[in-house]
Amino acid sequence: MAMLNQILNNPDVVIVLVGALVSVASSLLGCFLILRKASMLSDAISHAILLGIVLTFLLTQNQNTPLFVLGAALTGLLTVILTESLAQSGRVKYDAAIGIVYPFFFALAVLLINLFARNVHLDTDAVLLGEIGFSWLDTTSLGALEVPTSLLKMSFVTLLNLAFILLFYKELKLSTFDRALSAALGFSPFILHYALLSLLSLTSVVAFDAVGAVLLVAFVIIPPSAAYLMTDSLWRMLVIAGVVGVGSSLLGYLSALALDVSIGGMMALWTAFFLALAFLFSPRYGLISRYYQGLREKERNAKRMLLVHLFNHENDPESHQENAVSALKHHLRWDKAHIRNLIMQGLDEGLIHKNPNDQLFLTPKGRLLAQEVLAPWEYSAKL
């Protein structure tokens, strides 16, 4: 117990843990948001909840009331409702509706802070930047344990999000990928959507102290996006996003210590780094592998073209001319190196053979492949 206490009151451990929990809790929800093409709602919510926080503070004059969570979560929900009803009214488009509602709430909040809450801890910098570095200061007694409050709160939120996703995994998946079917089967996409966004508001307000409004957006969107580039399976996406989040928290903390800069900022930058890795190197969707896929595809097509050319002229009286290596350069407009490469490959794979006069002939296997290209409904080369 004493050891556990020691661990839980070690600032380094607490900061990394809080960061990891923030990113896991956010990216769990973020996966569904980016699949629903609604990721900018997280930007709107995380800015707008500031109004809820300020109003709660002004009404209660108390900085430590649990009402903060309620006030902020309600504001988050109100933002979404206002945005969506504005968009549904047809007077402004969805993207403009987001950009009208949340800046209004945020501007109001900043003004109220300027006017009434100048001298309290609610200053505007903390709002944007957060202070995860102080997350270990405030503790709560839990029996014999002294647990940092922010750790406790974030654990609760993370578990809540996890429970929601595990319980409604099937429904969430269905309503994300096929909204119409989900509605037809009686799972209201509307209720699930709002449940998801309510949890996002809740997560935002609890994570707010730690990372601030804007960095939260990084944790909601970037790890799931990186995961989205890595896999096609939803549960793998959730797991990868979580791993990216936890890794970024750890690396972010270490590098922030080394450089003596903002911890939350570094954590967010590491998520961006992982995204860049996925963008470049993802086995299926990465830039590099897509480039090579393109090259391979081109090669494959060239080979098929060669076979079809040979096949078309096989029984020509001119075939000894047409199917000579030297003729390919003119007929298929390929350069010499490319032709040599293709012929080597064809020979290797047993598709063609070459006589001493540099004339090319199809093997039975090569002929079958050419026939398959020309009439796939009759031939199957099964290569």
Which residues of this protein are in contact with another protein, per CB under 8 A?
34, 37-40, 42-43, 47, 86, 89, 91-96, 98-100, 103-104, 106-108, 110-111, 114-115, 118, 124-125, 128-129, 214-215, 217-218, 220-222, 225, 228-229, 256, 259-262, 264-266, 268-269, 271-272, 275, 279, 285, 287, 290
- Amino acid identity at 205: V
Closest CB to another protein among residues 97, 165: 97
Buried b (16+ CB within 10 A) or exposed e, 128-153: ebbbbbebbeebeeeeeeebbebbbb
Min CB(50)–another protein separation in Å: 11
Min CB(297)–another protein separation in Å: 17
Closest CB to another protein among residues 133, 195: 133
DSSP 350: T
Min CB(86)–another protein separation in Å: 8
Query: Rounded to whole angstroms, how far apart are CA atoms 342 and 167?
Result: 55
Closest CB to another protein among residues 289, 312: 289
Q: Determine the straight-line distance between the first and last CA of the chain, rounded to whole angstroms.
A: 64
Closest CB to another protein among residues 42, 323: 42
Backbone phi, then psi, for 287, in 5-degree steps?
-60, -45
Min CB(25)–another protein separation in Å: 16
Sign of CA dihedral 150, 152, 153, 157: positive
Min CB(115)–another protein separation in Å: 7
Query: Rounded to whole angstroms, how far apart are CA atoms 378 and 383?
Result: 15
SS3 content of the chain, % helix, strand, coil (to 5): 75, 5, 20
Closest CB to another protein among residues 226, 328: 226
